[in-house]
Amino acid sequence: MDRRRYLTVLLLHTTLAAPAVAQTIAAPGSPESTAAPTPPPATSIAPVTDPYSPKGLPFGGFRIFPTMEIAGDNDDNVYLTETNTRGDYFARETPQILLRSDWSRHSIDIYAAGSFYQYVTLPEQDHIDWNAGGDGRLDIYQGMALSGTGSYSVEHLANSSPDQPTSAKTPTKFSLVQSGATFSYNPYHFGFYLGGTFDRYVYDPNHLVDGTFSSNADRNEDAYSAYAKASYEVSPGYAAFVQANENLAHYDLTLDRSGLDRDNMGYSGNAGVDMLITNLIHGQAFVGYLYQRYKAPFKDVPGLNFGANVDWAVTPLWTLHFIASRSLNGTTLATASAEDDKSFQVSADYLFRSNITLSGGASYLDATFDGSTRVDRYITPRLSAIYHLNPWLGIELTDTYQIRDSSVSGQGFSDNIVMVGLKFQE
């Protein structure tokens, strides 16, 4: 496949991305977002000849990629509290399977994954996150394609989320349906994309420490978005683009727990560049403007929009990653229009030996609750090492530290999770 073909695929995938598997470190904030589609999470640039990359099993015109991770973790602040912290050990099993087409035209991926958590002394924190879905591309004509994606996932709110009640006994479960479609047309050096997404969020009631339950029916919502994108390949490996996005969030209940109507809508316009320079640099970066309109008494949110997701193979041994984004997420805080998240992440991978990879990085998140005085700031450094015993088995050691500084008294915390795990792959 030539460079232009790769660039077309990159443009499409950064516009319509599949959901990520649940993370082991608790992510702050609310899961629902009214922001435009952003680039997918950065991944390492693995050479095609990497002897430790998964090869998959042949299955007709497909390849099957099964993996299993088994890990033991120590978390020194499970409830993510500022005082009276409680630590615990927990086990985590993460099976995944991917069925990927191996065709010269068209493509389809079907996947399923789960994360099973079992705590030693805090069994009320046990939970299961899982997702299943697929995405595909129909090549209609040379340079013309129709792509689609769909998934269903069951996840849990992080204990660090301001929307998780401090009196909650167990993590609050929610389900998410995601779907999207994009039509793309790439004549010569140009690219045109038109698409939309639909997300459906449904929250279970909160299970409180006194044995009662509190409803989350006012958080159930439908989220819609539509976007149009035009690009031009200014030079081999570079494509400049402009993109317009519109979104709408509609809640099942007219009024929330505070007697307020949280339906909202907005738009954004972005300009940026998609990059695919051989196997050295690939990703996307953009800047723009967004405006989200809320119903009174909530304040509208205007301002700068931005996003980036860039991988750079500096040398055969070093790979750098940079991610940045801004997103507006729903919240239950009475006076806040949204949780306005601005995040930045830098990380690096070092191939210490052919079968040993060392990684390190840090992220910064500014979570401002527009319309309220609350501002949370998170700093999360992370170190990891992966030792491949052979192409099918690896050992991973990870240390993740997280600090939250909050403008609300008593809402700051620090947390450290150390993980040792085995990963089986084919």
DSSP state of 13: H
**β-sheet bridge partners, residue 139:** 145
How far from 27 is each of 155, 338, 404, CA to CA, in Å?
12, 17, 11
198 Cβ partners below 8 Å, 6+ apart? Answer: 177, 178, 179, 180, 222, 223, 224
Q: What is the rounded distance in angstroms from the CA atom of residue 223 to the CA atom of residue 328?
A: 13
How far from 252 is each of 117, 217, 332, 376, 377, CA to CA, in Å?
31, 8, 14, 28, 31
Place 236 in a pLDDT band, splitting at 50, 70 and 90: confident
**CB-CB contact of 288 with 270 (8 Å):** yes
Query: How much is the pLDDT for 40?
Result: 34
User: Which residue has 């931005």 as its token pair?
Assistant: 306
Q: What is the rounded distance in angstroms from the CA atom of residue 301 to the CA atom of residue 242?
A: 22
Query: How much is the pLDDT for 10?
Result: 43
CA dihedral 177, 293, 328, 223 (to 10 degrees): 0
The CATH class given to the 3-425 domain equals mainly beta
- List the structure tokens of 410: 């008593």
Query: How much is the pLDDT for 227?
Result: 97
**CB-CB contact of 343 with 364 (8 Å):** yes
Query: How much is the pLDDT for 403?
Result: 97
Q: What is the rounded distance in angstroms from the CA atom of residue 152 to the CA atom of residue 6?
A: 28
* Pairwise pLDDT comparison (3 vs 157), residue with the higher score: 157
Place 166 in a pLDDT band, splitting at 50, 70 and 90: confident
Q: What is the rounded distance in angstroms from the CA atom of residue 36 to the CA atom of residue 93?
A: 32
SS3 of residue 7 by DSSP: helix
Query: How much is the pLDDT for 51?
Result: 82
- List the structure tokens of 60: 């007709």
50 φ, ψ (degrees, to nearest 5): -60, 115
* Pairwise pLDDT comparison (221 vs 3), residue with the higher score: 221
Query: How much is the pLDDT for 280?
Result: 87
Cβ atoms < 10 Å from Cβ of 330: 24
**β-sheet bridge partners, residue 287:** 271, 306
104 φ, ψ (degrees, to nearest 5): -80, -30
pTM metric for this prediction: 0.87
Q: What is the rounded distance in angstroms from the CA atom of residue 361 to the CA atom of residue 401?
A: 11
Beta strands in 157-187 (DSSP E): 173-185
Ranking 20-34, 98-112, 195-209, 287-301 by mean pLDDT, the lowest is: 20-34
Q: What is the rounded distance in angstroms from the CA atom of residue 16 to the CA atom of residue 376?
A: 30
From the centroid of its chain, how far is CA 98? 18
Q: What is the rounded distance in angstroms from the CA atom of residue 352 to the CA atom of residue 189?
A: 40
Q: What is the rounded distance in angstroms from the CA atom of residue 114 to the CA atom of residue 96?
A: 7
Instruction: Please give, one letter per residue, the 3-state secondary structure of 277-311.
Output: ECCCEEEEEEEEEEEEEECCCCCCEEEEEEEEEEE
Going 382 to 122 to 131 to 386, the CA torsion angle's sign is: positive
Place 13 in a pLDDT band, splitting at 50, 70 and 90: very low
pLDDT above 90 (res 96): yes
pLDDT above 70 (res 265): yes
User: Which residue has 């030693």 as its token pair?
Assistant: 120
Rounded to an integer, the average pLDDT of 365-386 is: 97
Element holding 78 (H helix, E strand): none
Q: What is the largest CA-CA distance in the chain?
A: 65
- List the structure tokens of 334: 């009475």
SS3 of residue 46 by DSSP: coil
Element holding 313 (H helix, E strand): none
Residues above pLDDT 70, as percent of the chain: 88
Mean pLDDT (the chain, rounded): 89
- pLDDT tens across 128-149, in order? 999 999 999 999 988 899 999 9
Ranking 1-10, 75-84, 157-166 by mean pLDDT, the lowest is: 1-10
User: Which residue has 């030539």 as its token pair?
Assistant: 2
- pLDDT tens across 28-57, in order? 455 665 444 433 333 334 444 578 888 899
**CB-CB contact of 225 with 197 (8 Å):** yes
DSSP state of 218: G
Place 422 in a pLDDT band, splitting at 50, 70 and 90: very high
Residues above pLDDT 90, as percent of the chain: 79
